């Protein structure tokens, strides 16, 4: 289980700018739509600043496809460190490092370019939402296989009832938990 990381309180901001879309994409799902947050430059900047503060001291940020790219790149820029997009299998040219993992109904594979994470680099993994934790845990494993030391995972939203925190073995910062 991961340890908590202290993060700046942006609860009200997230609640105001990330509305719930009921029953999407299927009945019973309470989808959190980040589009209004992304469209508000001041709100997005505040969230990116808070996420950057929560990473700890790192050399590199990994952002999980696709919305993790948006937050991860902003965090990396604020920290003055490099950014590596974690892609779905088959989206990257050349040699890659990959990890396959199980989903509720199937499996998936994620990749980074070979050499994108150097041995010993301190890494933060960034994404928009932590649900069951499978993708985030696979990203942590991928960074480690490349020789990186994962020091934190940072997400905008954690959906606590889905238990994703329990599958992570790195410090986790969630700006808003539902």
What tens digit of pLDDT does each residue of 124-176 get?
999 999 999 999 999 999 999 999 999 999 999 999 999 999 999 999 999 99
Give the residue numbers marked as catalytic: 67, 104
How many whole angstroms separate alpha carbon 48 and alpha carbon 58? 15
Q: What pLDDT, on a 0 to 100 scale, did the predictor assign at position 110? A: 98
**CB-based burial label for 105 (10 Å; 0-12, 13-18, 19+):** exposed
Q: What pLDDT, on a 0 to 100 scale, did the predictor assign at position 104? A: 73
Q: What pLDDT, on a 0 to 100 scale, did the predictor assign at position 103? A: 83
Q: Is the pTM higher than 0.85?
A: yes
Low-confidence ranges of the chain (pLDDT < 50): 1
Q: What pLDDT, on a 0 to 100 scale, did the predictor assign at position 1? A: 42
Taking the domains of the chain in order of start, what are their residue ranges?
A: 11-177
Q: Per CATH, is 11-177 categorized as 3.40.50.2020?
A: yes
One-character DSSP codes across 47-112: HHHHHHHHS-S-SEEEEETTHHHHHHHHHHHHHT-EEEEEEETT-S-S-EEEEEEEETTEEEEEEE
DSSP-derived letter for residue 4 is: B
């Amino acid at each position: 289980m991961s340890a908590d990381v202290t993060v700046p309180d942006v609860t009200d901001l997230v609640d105001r700018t990330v509305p719930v879309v009921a029953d999407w994409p299927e009945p019973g799902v309470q989808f959190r739509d980040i589009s209004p947050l992304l469209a508000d430059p001041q709100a997005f900047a505040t969230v990116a600043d808070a996420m950057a503060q929560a990473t700890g001291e790192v050399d590199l940020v990994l952002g999980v496809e696709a919305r993790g790219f948006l937050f991860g790149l902003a965090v990396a820029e604020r920290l003055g460190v490099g950014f590596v997009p974690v892609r779905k299998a088959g989206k990257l040219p050349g040699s890659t490092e990959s990890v396959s993992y199980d989903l509720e109904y199937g499996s998936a594979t994620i990749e980074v370019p070979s050499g994108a994470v150097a041995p010993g680099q301190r890494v933060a993994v960034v994404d928009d939402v932590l649900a069951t934790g499978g993708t985030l845990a696979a990203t942590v494993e991928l960074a480690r296989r490349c020789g990186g030391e994962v020091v934190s995972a940072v997400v905008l939203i954690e959906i606590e009832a889905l238990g994703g925190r329990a599958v992570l073995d790195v410090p986790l910062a969630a700006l808003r938990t539902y």
